[in-house]
Amino acid sequence: MLVTLLSAGVVAASADSPGDARVFPVTLVDGGLILSVGEPALVGDTVVLSVPLLLAESGEWSQLVTLPLAAVDWPITMRHADAVRAARYAERAGGDDYARLTADVARALQLLVATDDVAVRSRNAIDTRRKVFDWSVAHHGYRHEELQEMVAMLDARLARLAPGQVGPVRVTMLPLPPPPAPSIDLEDPVAVATQAITAARLTLVPAERTGMLQGVLGLIETEAEALPRDWRSDTTRELRAWVETEARLDRAYGEMIAMLLARAHLAAREADVAEVTAVAEDLATGDDELGAHRPGMVAAVGATIERMREEAEALDRERRAWASRSPHHEALGERLARTLVKANEHRPLLEGIGSRTVGALDAAVLERRFKTLLGTLETPRPPAGFEGVHSLLRRASQLAAGAARLRRETDDPAKAGDAASAASGALMLLDETEASLGRLLSYPELP
């Protein structure tokens, strides 16, 4: 019944009655039609439009909706958009622009007959014909028939100016204007409601579908007196059942997804790759049981579970590596940890250099201590598995020793500032060393 009413509501907008110039028709691949307030936008593989539910002097009411591009005949929709733009141009500015063009052509013709120079007359006629042709293309073919007569007249004058002209005159043909775009009678609430229901059926976004259905129910309530009683009753019952179905699906999918994500999260933290994989399979099974009504939601959750699976795999590898560590490896880590503890014992002095409260004597002591620490870190090959931490701790000690040396050598404010910067850098590197070493010495866990 709804498809029949939609077909009955489709009309062609004529040049004399272009309809609401803000409304663009969106043609579906099955031949159906949905209106959009404002031009529809192509975004990736979707078409975004604003479906009108009420356009009246008292106000307007429309609903934003996203349709899959596969459901839309986009080339025809764009041709219809050209027609709407042409109609809007004709209504708003066409008359004034056309008057200016005809005045320009009249002046050009006066100049053409004011000279006896055949070359000048030919050049003027050619330039004027080109101007008319370009104007027609740029202005949506407005007043096509009149412009075609102008061009034919100019072609005839050029033919008379050409020597030895015989036979019929060859006339330049202007491109035809776009044919009138189809539309839906915006005064017919049944047709308006039906095209909105079609949009609700096609969109893949549940929230947009529910919003559109509720909008149509509001339209039916607003226009109740103008609607056929049986259609109003049947459609209201159908849409309310549909809205309840959508709400029930939202609840079912929400509960399923919350449970599955909790399972996947716990499994990932335990590095249980098999369990996370099982959760992904359960998601596909549950989606099938619910009728596959939320493809976008399921795809997003599936991507999240896949990321959790990758995290579980990475954590499993880290834990296997942790389990295979040798006692020598642990001893190397403990030795670096003891060196870091010694370095951190001097943090107050480094902070004092940063705040410029440490004297030259304390700075000299600090310099010797960090040089001693550097001596313990000097090795032709950093400990295997601890290369990054070893490099951080060595750089921190070098910066700390450099900061102490700068403070010891001078009281110059500029060099004191350099010493403070070096001390701050050393403290930052010590913090980073502690964090990195902690991760290496701790049992691997997800953040």
Q: What is the per-residue pLDDT across 125-178, written as a single tens digit (0 to 9) for each?
A: 888 888 888 998 888 888 888 888 888 888 888 777 765 544 455 667 888 888
pLDDT at 209: 95
Centroid of chain to Cα 233? 40
Centroid of chain to Cα 244? 31
pLDDT in tens, 194-213: 999 999 999 999 999 999 99
Residue 134 corresponds to which tokens in the numbers above?
């370009």
Q: Which of 168, 297, 159 is nearest to 305 (CA)?
A: 297
pTM of the predicted protein model = 0.65
Distances (CA, A) of 111 to 108, 124, 246: 5, 8, 72
Burial class (CB in 10 A: 0-12, 13-18, 19+), 94: middle
Q: Which residues make Cβ contacts (< 8 Å) with residue 340, sequence separation at least 6?
A: 393, 430, 433, 434, 437
Q: Which of 104, 192, 189 is nearest to 154 (CA)?
A: 104
The tokens 């050619």 sit on which residue?
Answer: 126
Does the pLDDT value for residue 380 go beyond 70? no
Range in 134-148, 257-271, 408-422 with the lowest mean pLDDT? 408-422
Buried b (16+ CB within 10 A) or exposed e, 102-139: eeebeebbeebeeeeeeeebeebbeebbebbbebbeeb
| Mean pLDDT of the region 38-45 | 94
User: Which contiguous run of DSSP H or E holds residue 142?
Assistant: none
Distance from the first to the final alpha carbon of the chain: 57
Beta strands 182-184 and 41-43 are unpaired
Beta strands 41-43 and 46-56 are antiparallel
Q: Which residues make Cβ contacts (< 8 Å) with residue 238, sequence separation at least 6?
A: none
Residue 182 sits at φ, ψ, to 5 deg, of -70, 165
Q: Is 160 helix (H, G, I), strand (E, B) or coil?
A: helix
